[in-house]
A and B are shown apart, each in its own frame.
Chain A
């Protein structure tokens, strides 16, 4: 477990109640936009079903598709690298920069590089990395990780962003106008695009049949970086593969409608060959994914296309904030991906859910997210990663519930204390008391009432 678990970090976030309400409403607004966009497509459910089945096929042929993808990409003039884990990935990126004598790089959004902590690693090696997605630049300047995979600074108010820009970009103090701040970032980042020789991008989809990859952005930052740089490095997890180009006709219809309610991102860029004189590299990363592929109950999590619809709909995410998940990919999907990376460190995350199932209902590739959350809980307890307090409480509960006389005595005692000494339950030691009032105590138990009225 990291220093603080989800519950503790969520407590921290919940200290400012109006802010929690604002966060909750902002994300629900995005969820509603998703609904409107989905409802405009009559074959929406067919699209989800087909996307899920295509991913089934991908997972069942992943090694073959990766081999084909590599072969085609090499034929297209792209250099392909393989990284077993985060460290290997970071080393590959660094060695490419070092080889070219480059110490400054622009980077567009890539959750994989967040997962691998690439920025921190490169900083240690003396490489200056500038995140060029506006939201990512904001959190980078603030010294924070993104709190959402699509909307990285959704937890920040515009006044705070104005502050950050005032400090780092020299915008006038007190100016928090989104239009003005975006324009300031445009000028600031244009200079970076024009002067950096290396650009790193993520990959949304990699096509086995053709060896090309697709990057989707609204801002155009991936393209501004890649087309102006001498060397373009694209980093992808092994699960980004799709079989054929025509399958994009399914996934691109789903991705942005699910993410933000737009019909498509502004740019869906298909990179097949480096431009003349340019070097193009692809780093294919495993980092635990092949292990997850072998976990029958959890392998469907690898179908994820990173739209974050499950974040926006999740009642827990909306009210606890992305940082409470203490991992690169937060929200419901992050809570089923992260325990695979480190079961001990992320043993709290599958419990950060009400299991309401809303995540599974909006998932564009039909991942059974809430069922996997439930299954992870069992694995985590069986493997001995449940917190000691919870283990003890479960044992006590088991003893009480399996002994009728103990159960009746405990019930009676509970009612007596709640009636005669309410302070013993209405305090911080009782987790059920937090954030809600305890119920009024009935005069008798159901058992007693039933005995009296049974006729």
Chain B
């Protein structure tokens, strides 16, 4: 008998009696309001920041203001081609080592924890959202779900090779519980909530 079969047989032999799966629908869902406000508050609480913007022209303006010293900006958004390199593919992820800022479109955000869901076809290279010094994600403002329950309702049947929830900048508190932003990944995380009905004067 192979090691695999022996292990499985031992487990089978010691398994307790059948217990059924519980329902995963939380009690009292469906009364959420002010999701973007909650999302922004939580994201700021974990070291990130957010802007509600009317379009990519606003995003470009904000990025130009804030990343004056950043030499290499990589993005998937063609609207940002004036300030970023737009590429579909990189031969070797190691060449991304000197990326300053990466701007990617993500699928949706989660209000309760400030997380954004992004899968690999939206990140060019898997390493990119991690290796860049700073990260910015663009999400439609309507694509904010209340909790992880609704998040997994959206992606329960989704097909991807790699996907990740990103909530704020990379961080650590391993030294005496002192919070430091920028452990190995991006030192900052900015989320642009795109709302085309928003007037420019009303950006957050």
Residues of A within 8 A of B (CB): 26, 29-30, 41-43, 46-47, 49-50, 53-54, 56-57, 59-63, 66-67, 76, 82-84, 88, 132-135, 138, 151-154, 157-158, 161, 178-179, 181-183, 185-186, 189-190, 193-194, 218-221, 223-224, 226-228, 238, 243-250, 252-253, 260, 262-275, 284, 286, 290-291, 293-294, 296, 299
Of the candidates B17, B162, B177, the one whose C-beta lies within 8 Å of that of A275 is B162
4 residue pairs, one from A and one from B, having the closest CB atoms: A220-B185, A294-B14, A263-B113, A219-B183
The answer to whether B62 has its CB under 8 Å from any CB of chain A is: no
Point out the residues of chain B lying under 8 angstroms from A271, CB to CB.
162
Point out the residues of chain A lying under 8 angstroms from B23, CB to CB.
50
Q: Contact: A273 with B161, CB < 8 Å? A: yes
User: Please, could you name 25 A-B residue pairs with CB atoms under 8 Å apart, sorted by A?
Assistant: A26-B177, A50-B24, A63-B11, A66-B11, A88-B3, A138-B175, A153-B175, A158-B178, A189-B184, A218-B170, A218-B173, A219-B171, A223-B130, A228-B94, A249-B147, A249-B149, A253-B147, A269-B164, A272-B163, A275-B162, A286-B7, A290-B11, A294-B13, A296-B16, A299-B16
Give B138-169 interface residues, CB cut-off 8 Å to A. Answer: 147-149, 151-153, 155-156, 160-169
Q: Contact: B24 with A224, CB < 8 Å? A: no
Residue of B with least CB distance to A159: B176
Q: Identify 5 new A-B residue pairs, CB closer than 8 A, beyond the known A57-B21, A243-B21, A248-B148.
A: A66-B8, A182-B182, A264-B148, A269-B164, A272-B163
The answer to whether B69 has its CB under 8 Å from any CB of chain A is: no
Q: Contact: B127 with A266, CB < 8 Å? A: no
Q: Contact: A190 with B161, CB < 8 Å? A: no
Given the interface contacts A42-B28, A223-B185, does A264 sit within 8 Å of B115 by beta carbon?
A: yes
Query: How far does the alpha carbon of A267 sit from the alpha carbon of B171 in the complex, in Å?
Result: 10
Point out the residues of chain B lying under 8 angstroms from A186, CB to CB.
182-184
Q: Contact: A238 with B161, CB < 8 Å? A: no
Q: Contact: B185 with A219, CB < 8 Å? A: yes
The answer to whether B79 has its CB under 8 Å from any CB of chain A is: no
On chain B, the number of residues with a Cβ less than 8 Å from chain A's Cβ atoms is 74
Of the candidates A54, A60, A151, A262, the one whose C-beta lies within 8 Å of that of B18 is A60
The answer to whether B44 has its CB under 8 Å from any CB of chain A is: no
Q: Contact: B184 with A30, CB < 8 Å? A: no
Q: Contact: A43 with B185, CB < 8 Å? A: no
Given the interface contacts A88-B3, A265-B167, does A220 sit within 8 Å of B130 by beta carbon?
A: yes
Q: Contact: B22 with A50, CB < 8 Å? A: yes
Point out the residues of chain A lying under 8 angstroms from B97, CB to CB.
190, 194
The answer to whether B42 has its CB under 8 Å from any CB of chain A is: yes
Of the candidates B19, B155, B163, the one whose C-beta lies within 8 Å of that of A57 is B19
Point out the residues of chain A lying under 8 angstroms from B24, CB to CB.
50, 54, 246-247, 249-250
Give B12-46 interface residues, CB cut-off 8 Å to A. Answer: 12-24, 26-28, 42, 46
Given the interface contacts A59-B16, A62-B11, A247-B24, does A29 sit within 8 Å of B177 by beta carbon?
A: yes
Q: Contact: A179 with B174, CB < 8 Å? A: no
The answer to whether B10 has its CB under 8 Å from any CB of chain A is: yes
Residues of B within 8 A of A (CB): 2-4, 6-24, 26-28, 42, 46, 93-94, 97, 110, 112-115, 120, 125-127, 130-131, 147-149, 151-153, 155-156, 160-178, 180, 182-186
Query: How far does the alpha carbon of A242 sit from the alpha carbon of B38 in the complex, in Å?
Result: 30
Q: Contact: A270 with B160, CB < 8 Å? A: yes
Q: Contact: B180 with A179, CB < 8 Å? A: yes
Residue of A with least CB distance to B110: A264
Of the candidates B16, B26, B161, B170, the one whose C-beta lies within 8 Å of that of A266 is B170
Query: How far does the alpha carbon of A437 sit from the alpha carbon of B94 in the complex, in Å?
Result: 64
Q: Contact: A134 with B172, CB < 8 Å? A: yes
Min CB gap B122→A, angstroms: 14
**Of listed B14, B27, B115, B182, residue having the most chain A CB within 10 A:** B14
Of the candidates B11, B125, B126, the one whose C-beta lies within 8 Å of that of A238 is B11
Given the interface contacts A245-B155, A246-B153, A290-B11, does A270 sit within 8 Å of B22 by beta carbon?
A: no
Point out the residues of chain A lying under 8 angstroms from B11, CB to CB.
62-63, 66, 238, 286, 290, 293
Q: Contact: B27 with A46, CB < 8 Å? A: yes
Q: Contact: B148 with A134, CB < 8 Å? A: no
Point out the residues of chain A lying under 8 angstroms from B173, CB to CB.
151, 218, 260
Q: Contact: A245 with B152, CB < 8 Å? A: yes
Point out the residues of chain B lying under 8 angstroms from A185, CB to CB.
183
Of the candidates B7, B13, B155, B184, the one whose C-beta lies within 8 Å of that of A220 is B184
Given the interface contacts A135-B174, A179-B180, A228-B94, does A249 sit within 8 Å of B20 by beta carbon?
A: no
Q: Contact: A133 with B174, CB < 8 Å? A: yes
Q: Contact: B175 with A134, CB < 8 Å? A: yes
Of the candidates B16, B27, B149, B162, the one whose C-beta lies within 8 Å of that of A269 is B162
Q: Contact: B184 with A227, CB < 8 Å? A: no
Q: Contact: B16 with A267, CB < 8 Å? A: no
Min CB gap A191→B, angstroms: 10
Query: How far does the alpha carbon of A134 sit from the alpha carbon of B163 in the complex, in Å?
Result: 24
Residue of A with least CB distance to B185: A220
Q: Contact: A290 with B10, CB < 8 Å? A: yes
Min CB gap B91→A, angstroms: 10
Q: Contact: B167 with A57, CB < 8 Å? A: no
Min CB gap B146→A, angstroms: 11
Query: How far does the alpha carbon of A151 sit from the alpha carbon of B179 in the complex, in Å?
Result: 13
Query: How far does the alpha carbon of A154 sit from the alpha carbon of B176 in the complex, in Å?
Result: 6
Point out the residues of chain A lying under 8 angstroms from B19, CB to CB.
53, 56-57, 59-60
Q: Contact: B166 with A266, CB < 8 Å? A: yes
Point out the residues of chain A lying under 8 angstroms from B168, CB to CB.
266
Q: Contact: A227 with B177, CB < 8 Å? A: no
Point out the residues of chain B lying under 8 angstroms from A76, CB to CB.
161
Q: Contact: A286 with B4, CB < 8 Å? A: no
Query: How far does the alpha carbon of A286 sit from the alpha carbon of B14 in the complex, in Å?
Result: 13
